[in-house]
Amino acid sequence: MDNIKELLGKRIREIRKSKNLTQEQLAERVGIGTPNISYFETGRFTPALETMQKIATALNSEIYEFYMFQPLVSSEKLKKELIESIDSDENLLRKLYKFYVSIK
């Protein structure tokens, strides 16, 4: 299993890529060298808390998102999975509808 530094680095990379940013662009936004971003993403080093906040701001994210180690799922995949679940479970459909109405 990956260690926490590697998981954190993979998650930062995943979020960066989902925002269509290169390491160079992220480094520029954060105000650090590109090698540092590489070191963080490979788990070689862990960013200081202040740097993590700058990275989160640059990625329009929150620090806690860096620790959500499940892979990002595309909205298309989410839609497909939800539709398949709803089609096969009427009770789920009703629950989702009630939830939807409550937040609408």
Q: Nearest CA to 27 among 69, 58, 61? A: 58
Tell me the average pLDDT across 12-31.
96
Domain parsing of the chain, residue ranges? 4-67, 73-104
- Whole-model pTM over 0.75: no
pLDDT tens-digit profile of 23-68? 999 999 999 999 999 999 999 999 999 999 999 999 999 999 999 8
Q: Nearest CA to 53 among 41, 45, 61? A: 61
Integer Cα distance of 26 and 37 in angstroms:
8
Tell me the average pLDDT across 5-19.
94
Res. 78 pLDDT band, cuts 50 70 90 = confident
4-67 is classed in which CATH architecture?
Orthogonal Bundle (1.10)
Burial class (CB in 10 A: 0-12, 13-18, 19+), 26: buried
pLDDT score recorded for residue 1: 44
